[in-house]
């Protein structure tokens, strides 16, 4: 077990079956990444820390039931890691992915099939998807916060929660968003990036 995988095991109490699914996901990711650009190749040696820990920490902040919509899913971060873990710990979570790139959708569907997971992949643009009434909305490295809040206005249930991973410029993004939006926000420090923050946002309304 490499150091990053050991750190994951120390941070998250998951079963052997869940670890096997995460290992299988990692293998599929490495295999497919040679053909399509899922993640930066430079991050593959640090997959467990850079992508798996970074995604799994989101699950700690989420409710354990309801409709979860992961937008701009790409390779499946954070949604796929959370779906793998939630299959055992939070079976009442129903996870859906939104991704406009057909090749990435094919990858996500392959992961779900190979890992025997139940989830939905929407092969469309976020703004073209029918409003989802999601209880949880997640995004990672997708768009500036004002744009994410516009997606949330369309797809989040009235009492839903957004969980967005943000970097060092998070305060600038919040201030820019407040020009157009009113919302409640709680900031959680990232487990993987000293300058990173996870924003938990609710009660979103246009100003």
Please tell me the least confidently modeled range out of 9-13, 66-70, 147-151: 9-13
- pLDDT value of position 141: 87
Average pLDDT, the chain: 95
- pLDDT value of position 33: 95
How large is the average pLDDT for residues 142-156?
A: 97
Check if the beta carbon of residue 164 is closer than 8 Å to that of residue 69: no
Check if the beta carbon of residue 58 is closer than 8 Å to that of residue 78: yes
- pLDDT value of position 71: 98
How many helices, marked H, and strands, marked E, lie in the chain?
Answer: 8, 7
168: tokens are 């060092």
The angle subtended at Cα 78 by Cα 147 and Cα 204, nearest 5°, is 35
pLDDT of 1 above 70: no
Place of tokens 């939104």: 98
Question: For 89-119, how does the pLDDT look when each residue is reduced to its tens digit (9 = 90+)?
Answer: 999 999 999 999 999 999 999 999 999 999 9
Burial degree of 71 (CB within 10 A; 0-12, 13-18, 19+): buried
- pLDDT value of position 152: 98
- pLDDT value of position 52: 96
Question: For 55-64, how does the pLDDT look when each residue is reduced to its tens digit (9 = 90+)?
Answer: 999 999 999 9
> Percentage of residues in the chain with pLDDT exceeding 70?
100
- pLDDT value of position 3: 87
pLDDT of 137 above 70: yes
108/44: higher pLDDT? 108
Q: At what angle do helices 3-11 and 54-61 cross, to 10 degrees?
A: 0
pLDDT of 17 above 90: yes
Torsion of CA 139, 96, 88, 3, to 10 degrees: -40
Q: What is the largest CA-CA distance in the chain?
A: 50
- pLDDT value of position 133: 96
Please tell me the least confidently modeled range out of 33-42, 73-82, 172-181: 33-42
Helix (H) or strand (E) holding 16: helix 16-33
Radius of gyration (Cα) for the chain, nearest Å?
16
Separation in Å, CA 60 to CA 13, 94, 126, 134, 196: 11, 16, 25, 18, 16
- pLDDT value of position 94: 97
- pLDDT value of position 20: 96
Kindly state the DSSP code that residue 124 receives in the 8-state scheme. S
């Amino acid at each position: 077990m490499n150091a990053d995988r050991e750190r994951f095991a120390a941070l998250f109490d998951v079963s052997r079956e869940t670890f096997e699914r995460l290992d299988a996901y990692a293998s599929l990711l490495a295999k497919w990444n040679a053909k399509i650009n899922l993640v930066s190749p430079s991050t593959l040696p640090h997959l467990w820390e850079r992508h798996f820990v970074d995604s799994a920490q989101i699950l700690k902040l989420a409710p354990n039931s309801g409709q979860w919509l992961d937008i701009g899913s790409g390779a499946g971060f954070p949604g796929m890691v959370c779906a793998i873990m939630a299959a055992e710990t939070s079976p009442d979570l129903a996870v859906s992915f939104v991704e406009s790139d057909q090749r990435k959708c094919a990858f996500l569907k392959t992961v779900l099939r190979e890992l025997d997971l139940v989830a939905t992949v929407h092969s469309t643009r976020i703004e073209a998807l029918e409003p989802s009434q999601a209880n949880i909305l997640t995004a990672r490295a997708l768009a500036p916060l004002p744009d994410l809040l516009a997606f949330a206005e369309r797809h989040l249930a009235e009492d839903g929660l957004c969980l967005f991973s943000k970097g060092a410029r998070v305060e600038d993004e919040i201030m820019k968003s407040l020009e157009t939006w009113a919302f409640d926000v709680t900031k959680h420090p990232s487990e993987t990036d000293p300058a990173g923050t996870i924003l938990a946002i609710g009660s979103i309304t246009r100003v």
